Amino acid sequence: MDTQALIDKLFSVGAHFGYAPSKRHPSTAPFIFGEKGGSEIFDLEQTAGLLEQALEAVKALAAQRKTILFIGGKAEAREAVTRAAERLNMPFVAGRFIGGTLTNWSEIKKRLARLGDIAQMREKGELAKFTKMERLLIEREAENLETMFGGLKGMTKLPDALFVIDPRAESGAVSEARALNIPVIALMNSDCDRAQITYPIPGNDSSRETVSFVLEQATKTYADNLGTAPAPASEAAQA
């Protein structure tokens, strides 16, 4: 998609709408084109350019088969985040981000292992050996673990990058990623701190249409470039 077509599409999905000037974070001032009806308007030329930069980052991650953790717990983002992550078989958080998910990963791995153990017991019919009350407690435990960590099943190590919808709402995840030097790609509205984000995409993070479009672009870019990085010289020689 050429830049003008991208700008037109961003406009059509309402990506240009920011919040009221009173809610603006100072760092987003350079992205603002003007104001209309009490809401600030993003400069979509800048949004398009920064989206293209973010997609280049996604392309590089895909080329090396890196893991992206998709995060978006607000109502406008949950469905699109889940859809994008599942399309790429990537981990996701489409609800509340549990503190320590990244910075206390060793503990989270234990929770995921427990969830996997219960699933295996179900498949093998091993829950029958427990009393009715014990089975009830195990099922409740599994339900709670699924609610908190279900989107992370299959994640065996820390992600190589985060793709966040509304980094202000997901400030805990962003802070943990920064502490671990994990790059953050984010669709961010005018109330967000640009300095916290590695690859900012200034735009309307409260619009389902905008969120879906940005994530569709990201998933398509990843899928189209998966594993395209050349093999190391040693591997190429062996081949």
pLDDT in tens, 186-218: 999 999 999 999 999 999 999 999 999 999 999
**Predicted confidence band at 12 (pLDDT cuts at 50, 70, 90)?**
very high
Per-residue pLDDT, averaged over 49-62, amounts to 97
Per-residue pLDDT, averaged over 80-88, amounts to 97
**Pick the residue with more confidence: 132 or 221?**
221
Question: What's the whole-model pTM score?
Answer: 0.91
The answer to whether 91 and 152 are in contact (CB under 8 A) is yes
Residue 61 sits in which domain range? 3-100+158-224
| Domain termination site, one of 116, 132, 152 | 152
Residues 77, 193 within the same domain:
yes
Residues 9, 86 within the same domain:
yes
Two tokens, residue 147: 């609610």
Task: Tell me whether residue 232 is in a domain.
Answer: no
Residues 33, 71 within the same domain:
yes
Residues 92, 179 within the same domain:
yes
Determine if residue 61 is left, alpha or beta; phi over 0 gives left, psi from -120 to 50 gives alpha, anything else beta: alpha
H/E stretch holding 122: helix 105-124
Residues 59, 176 within the same domain:
yes
